[in-house]
Amino acid sequence: MSFQLLDGRKLAAQLKQQLKQEILHLRGSTGDVPRIINLMVGQDPAAQSYARSQMKTADEVGVKYELLNLPENTKQKELLQKIDQLNRDSSVNGVIIYKPVPSQIDYQLAAGSISASKDLEGINALNLGKMILGEAAMIPCTPAAVMEHIKSTGVLLRGKEAVVVGRSEIVGKPVSLLLLKEHATVTICHSATAKLEEQIKRADIIVAAVGKPSFIKGAWIKPGAIVVDVGINQVGNKIVGDVEFDQACQKAGYITPVPGGVGPVTAVMLMNNAVTAYKAQWAQRESAPIKK
Ligand SMILES: NC(=O)c1ccc[n+]([C@@H]2O[C@H](COP(=O)([O-])OP(=O)(O)OC[C@H]3O[C@@H](n4cnc5c(N)ncnc54)[C@H](OP(=O)(O)O)[C@@H]3O)[C@@H](O)[C@H]2O)c1
């Protein structure tokens, strides 16, 4: 079976080009561009490296991105005060906080106190609740990236069998809602799912978000299926996904690689949310939508 590689870098480049144009238009019609703040507590090297790559993406599309590094010993109360200050600052359109955070910080509490209109990761309870209602403006970035990959295949999801492996709040659950919104029939699998192999074998679309290297076997893939691998697993000095890639390529119709699949598109989705937040806040302030 010949498969098509869902190249995340290529897709990200196209999406960045579209966003760049949109931001140029925003600058022309509003006189400004989105501004986002990454609140980082401590000096985690992985978080810093991720922030650097996001800064590059922001720069490419024309979003103002600022890294606000708070000391490792920042108290929860101080962090909440800072978030409150950023929530009130009308020159800030979005706020993000990355894990890991030092042990004295309750991440859920901190991330949940970012106002819904500035919650660029779409993980605030209000934004997640809106997803259930099908009304969300701010879609969590990784699930949004998964959907962009699926959309890029041109395959209609109506009536298709989708199996999502993983039910985390940041990936599995939101991606399931997005697939449901597109009229797929969705099965969510997790660590207590019986006969996972049988579930996967009938799936037209498989989204793997488990965090276990090569956990989903190539032999389980239905011929022609769309396989989106969200997993990022370090094996020796290599990064691999949750799907047994080489074997899955022999069965799949479309498949994302790891690395270079979902990851590059996720970073662009954050910028997309920054644009959404900026437009909504501008329209609210001016009591008028931005002219097309
Ligand atoms: N590319 C990106 O942009 C991006 C972004 C976020 C995450 N990731 C990666 O995606 C992966 C998943 O992330 P996450 O945050 O969703 O992970 P998570 O919170 O650890 O969730 C993992 C999920 O996998 C399920 N699971 C574990 N063992 C299983 C088994 N034997 N059979 C079926 N399901 C099983 C768990 O089930 P239970 O709920 O029953 O425990 C859980 O729902 C990780 O590798 C992470 O690094 C990538």
CATH of domain 31-117: 3.40.50.10860
- Domain residues of the chain, as ranges? 31-117, 141-263
* Ligand 1 contact via 42 beta carbon (within 6 Å): no
Question: What confidence score (pLDDT) does residue 1 get?
Answer: 66
CATH of domain 141-263: 3.40.50.720
Instruction: Using the mean position of ligand 1's atoms as its centre, give its distance from the Cα of residue 192 in Å.
Output: 13
Ligand 1 pocket test, candidate residues 230, 256, 268, 269, most atoms within 8 A of CB? 230
* Ligand 1 contact via 265 beta carbon (within 6 Å): no
CA-nearest residue, atom 40 of ligand 1: 191
* Ligand 1 contact via 259 beta carbon (within 6 Å): no
Instruction: Using the mean position of ligand 1's atoms as its centre, give its distance from the Cα of residue 172 in Å.
Output: 7
Question: What confidence score (pLDDT) does residue 290 get?
Answer: 77
Instruction: Using the mean position of ligand 1's atoms as its centre, give its distance from the Cα of residue 167 in Å.
Output: 7
Give the number of the atom of ligand 1 that is nearest the alpha carbon of residue 258: 1
Chain segment 211-240, per-residue pLDDT in tens:
999 999 999 999 999 999 999 999 999 999
Segments of the chain with pLDDT less than 50? none
pTM of the entire predicted model: 0.96
Question: What confidence score (pLDDT) does residue 137 get?
Answer: 81
Rounded CA gap, 256 and 226, in Å? 9
State the chain's mean pLDDT as an integer: 96
* Ligand 1 contact via 196 beta carbon (within 6 Å): yes
- % pLDDT > 90, the chain: 91
Question: What confidence score (pLDDT) does residue 226 get?
Answer: 99
Contacts of 241 (CB under 8 A, 6+ apart): 208, 213, 214, 229, 230, 231, 232, 233, 256, 257, 258, 261
Chain segment 105-128, per-residue pLDDT in tens:
999 999 999 999 999 999 899 999
